[in-house]
Amino acid sequence: MNFSNQAAPVGPAVYFSEFNALDLELWEIGVLSLLLTIASAYYISSSNRKNSLGKGVDSFDGQVDFIGRKDIADHSEQSSLDCIVLYRSQTGTAEGFAYQLVNEAQTKLGLHRMAASLEDYQFSSLNSVSRERLLVFILASFGEGEPTDNAVDFPNFITDKDESLSGLEHTERPLKNLRYASFGLGNNTYQYFNRVARDADRALQALGAIRLGPAGEGDDGAGTMDEEFLSWKELMWSACKGQMGFSEHQATYKPMFPMVECDLSADSPEVYRGEPNELHLQGQPELCQIHARNPFIAPAVQSRELFSNTERNCLHIEIDISGTQLSYQTGDHVAAWVSNPNQEIDRFLRILGLDSKRHMVVHMGSGALTSKLPIAPFAPDANLKAEMTKLGSDKD
């Protein structure tokens, strides 16, 4: 569990530093820093693909830029993985869902599992993935239905008629051994609802892959994303148990994420104090394209209340992106990078008996800051557990 009053990236050391408490008056004077995440779609030309996959050729001689990425079939085999959850996320929701799934895969089914971004892998060997392994795709769309910044290559690779996969005749069924599940994140207020997930699902089935469970679809526009994900994953796991032989086992308690104390001080250069990623920590955020993992931190230059003499509250905030190549368009995202109040952090640590560890530096395990961790299972009795479950599901 993260006690820090600043969000920090997964993996590196995090310092429980003291910051001034967030005061709503800061909004009035416009000094709250915001994260401006600009969705910049990019596409890679695919005019020279060759139809190699599924014809006994192990290598792919197309033009998709997969240099430096792991081979999906080789890595799953070498790591003895039963379940691989691959996500494409713009604001982090799909990534959070992915880590929820891998946690359940381990705790409920005892599977060797892994969650990873699609941009970390190349898929020319997709037809070589063992039928004993499950691939789960958590695919978000943004804007009018475009792919997210991380892994634009994948939908091109799987759906473009010039690609080595989709250019094959459907009768060849090159992915007949692939077992997969799919959940899409979209918004029904935009023109193409869940287009990325739908296109990928359609292409995978046309190439012979077998989907386990329904094709799940979350709708951010209806505000039912979490409910639809929870309903879908139960049906998906049930299908996996029936068709892949997965079985539930008695779970024993294990920490959700490792948290190891480090022999570092708050002044150590590798210690995070709220920076969103390593490039920001090193003072070189400009070295990477701006997206959800490498946001541009923009100051608010003006903030004013739009309503007066009413209980309603609505702020007009102007954000400064001068000196950048950014331009804001409908469907782009702005996120608030806020602090937890010091007073609340101190109270929480005191309740848990961790006052003495207020300023320790810790190393967080993978996924620690992208997953939602239910607190209800730690309740001392059934009544408190029921109440905490109710509070945890209350969006208000």
Cα Rg of the chain, angstroms: 23
3-state SS, one letter per residue, for 183-211: EEEECCCCCCCCHHHHHHHHHHHHCCCEE
What does CATH list as the number for 70-244? 3.40.50.360
Q: Which two tokens stand for residue 114?
A: 């892994």
CB atoms within 10 A of CB 363: 15
pLDDT, one tens digit per residue, over 361-382 is: 888 766 566 556 677 777 778 8
Strand (E) positions, 107-261?
Answer: 113-117, 121-122, 134-142, 146-147, 179-186, 210-211, 216-219, 259-261
pLDDT, one tens digit per residue, over 73-100 is: 898 888 889 999 999 887 778 888 998 8
Q: How far apart are CA 139 and CA 375, in angstroms?
A: 27
First to last CA, the chain: 22
**Span 134-148, average pLDDT:** 80
Residue 276 to residues 10, 74, 331: CA-CA distances in angstroms?
10, 31, 22
Strongest mean pLDDT among 152-161, 273-282, 308-317, 341-350: 341-350
β-partners of residue 294 are: 291
pLDDT, one tens digit per residue, over 10-47 is: 334 444 333 333 333 433 333 333 333 333 332 323 33
Strand (E) positions, 210-348?
Answer: 210-211, 216-219, 259-261, 296-305, 315-319, 333-336
pTM for this prediction: 0.55
Q: How far apart are CA 41 and CA 60, in angstroms?
A: 25
pLDDT, one tens digit per residue, over 247-277 is: 887 766 667 677 888 888 878 888 877 777 6
Q: Which two tokens stand for residue 274?
A: 């709220």
User: What rounded mean pLDDT belongs to the chain?
Assistant: 73
pLDDT of residue 301: 93
Q: Which residue has the higher pLDDT, 135 or 268?
A: 135
> How is the chain split into domains, by residue range?
13-39+256-392, 70-244
